[in-house]
Homo-oligomer: A and B are copies of this chain.
């Protein structure tokens, strides 16, 4: 248990989990972020158990990850995380990534809502005293903020369809937050990964993906070979939208 506003967590990058480049993948890094966020909140009195006790749950709404250097296998990734802001309906949580030498290798920003488990409606986050007490506004997270990714109306192509399966599900029987990312990064050809890297990844979680649903992924090239907007849909319902910047 700690009272410091910033939580520091270490994650070994196991070789059997890395991609063909021997590097951590975005879904892996996203998973570590969730783990760090969960521990940070639990240690400070606004974690999963406290929320459930009040018939509420944290819901990840938006996420932006910028990676300057992907963690290599058999190294240890350090993730620092803190509550950057709280307003009525949302709280922002930021992250920084460090390699074993303490060099900053990336940053991330996330936005969370807290829903009422009975009504599934958003609740007032700024009423959570334990959360508000830990706001830390003085730490730098020098990446672009979290913006709404516009829906794809034209100039897109359907690049993939898949059915939500057992391994895609989280404990609520919805598409697992990290599986959203896995299905999105799999849209790109391996040649892209051989030549470039995803420098910035943004996702807006909009609706839940359900078991057995057949989901489509649409893609629009905003800037050829560099910027892409993707949208995952279940029929007419948008499940998530995402923006990727390659370098």
Stretch at the interface among A93-101, A119-127, A169-177: A169-177
Inside 8 A of A165's CB, which chain B residues have their CB? 186
Contact with B along A14-44 (1 / 0, CB 8 A): 1111111110010100010011001000000
Q: Is the Cβ of B167 less than 8 Å from the Cβ of A25? A: yes
Given A171-B73, A190-B211: A166 in contact with B19 (beta carbons within 8 A): yes
Given A186-B165, A190-B211, A211-B190: A170 in contact with B38 (beta carbons within 8 A): no
The answer to whether the Cβ of A182 comes within 8 Å of any Cβ in the partner chain is yes
Q: How many residues of A contact B (CB 8 A)?
A: 36
The answer to whether the Cβ of A48 comes within 8 Å of any Cβ in the partner chain is yes
Could you say how many copies of this chain the assembly holds?
2
CB distance from A100 to the nearest CB of B (A): 18
Q: Is the Cβ of B177 less than 8 Å from the Cβ of A16? A: yes
Inside 8 A of A176's CB, which chain B residues have their CB? 16
Q: Is the Cβ of B185 less than 8 Å from the Cβ of A18? A: no
Q: How far is the CA of A189 from the CA of B124 in the complex (A)?
A: 38
B-binding residues in A (CB < 8 A): 14-22, 25, 27, 31, 34-35, 38, 48, 73, 165-167, 169-173, 176-178, 182, 185-186, 188, 190, 193, 211-212
Given A38-B15, A190-B211: A185 in contact with B171 (beta carbons within 8 A): no
Q: Is the Cβ of A34 less than 8 Å from the Cβ of B16? A: yes
Q: Is the Cβ of A193 less than 8 Å from the Cβ of B166? A: yes
Inside 8 A of A171's CB, which chain B residues have their CB? 15, 18-22, 73
CB distance from A47 to the nearest CB of B (A): 11
Q: How far is the CA of A25 from the CA of B176 in the complex (A)?
A: 14
Contact residue among B15, B73, B185 (Cβ-Cβ distance under 8 Å from A166)? B185
Q: Is the Cβ of B16 less than 8 Å from the Cβ of A178? A: yes
Inside 8 A of A16's CB, which chain B residues have their CB? 31, 34-35, 38, 170, 176-178
